[in-house]
Chain A
Amino acid sequence: ETGVTQSPTHLIKTRGQQVTLRCSSQSGHNTVSWYQQALGQGPQFIFQYYREEENGRGNFPPRFSGLQFPNYSSELNVNALELDDSALYLCASNPGTQTDTQYFGPGTRLTVL
């Protein structure tokens, strides 16, 4: 148990649709990061939020966007879904501004048909 939860567990969407994934961090964890993990690969960094502001971004297009709320919850939004967006989406939190000792949620598995 890492204290980080994600919802939903699984999700099926069709190409062109929009999706919102949710993450609830541990209380006191001001930093949340989101990752995309394709089958058989390592996680890829999407972006990081610190106290509701984006604090870093990986090589993902603008249709991937996020929000972080004061209650330690956050969202990942993906617009205009493509088949290649099918993956496991992971969020991770840590207490400080830096990515030290990250605590991962169980992930949301997204399938785009």
Chain B
Amino acid sequence: GIQVEQSPPDLILQEGANSTLRCNFSDSVNNLQWFHQNPWGQLINLFYIPSGTKQNGRLSATTVATERYSLLYISSSQTTDSGVYFCAVDRSHNDMRFGAGTRLTVKP
């Protein structure tokens, strides 16, 4: 199956800083999503982005499908951005594979 690697595993930022999270995947995919999991376990979809670039407020994402990676950018980070960020991919549309996540801590 597809392997998904996320980096870095942990990230500690000061409020207001910018960050880039990376997701590498081992095979071509038809679906790539970024999620944020809050401390209570709720997963929220941030982007559905199998290719191209999208922006939503302070967050943006870019997927370069031909090179099998995706990047999530967080600008002007806030303490509420803390949590775990997951990248998930799917080749066959019925078997989503998640990475191990990047744990982000934003300090005030």
Contact = CB atoms under 8 A, between A and B. Distances in A.
Nearest to B92: A56
A72 interface: no
A106 B95 CA distance: 20
B77 to A, nearest CB: 22
Contacts of B41: 37, 88, 90, 106-107, 109
A45 B97 contact: yes
A27 interface: no
A41 B45 CA distance: 18
Interface of B: 4, 30-31, 33, 35, 40-45, 48, 86, 88, 90, 92-101
Nearest to B42: A106
A97 B88 CA distance: 17
B31 A98 contact: yes
Contacts of B30: 98
B45 A102 contact: yes
Interface residues of A, number: 27
B96 A45 contact: yes
B93 A99 contact: yes
Contacts of A35: 96, 98
B31 A33 contact: no
B95 A100 contact: no
B44 A99 contact: no
Contacts of A42: 4, 86, 88, 98-101
A1 to B, nearest CB: 10
B29 to A, nearest CB: 11
A80 B72 CA distance: 40
Contacts of A56: 92, 94-95
A101 B48 contact: yes
A43 interface: yes
Contacts of A92: 43
Interface in A77-113: 88, 90, 92, 97-104, 106-107, 109
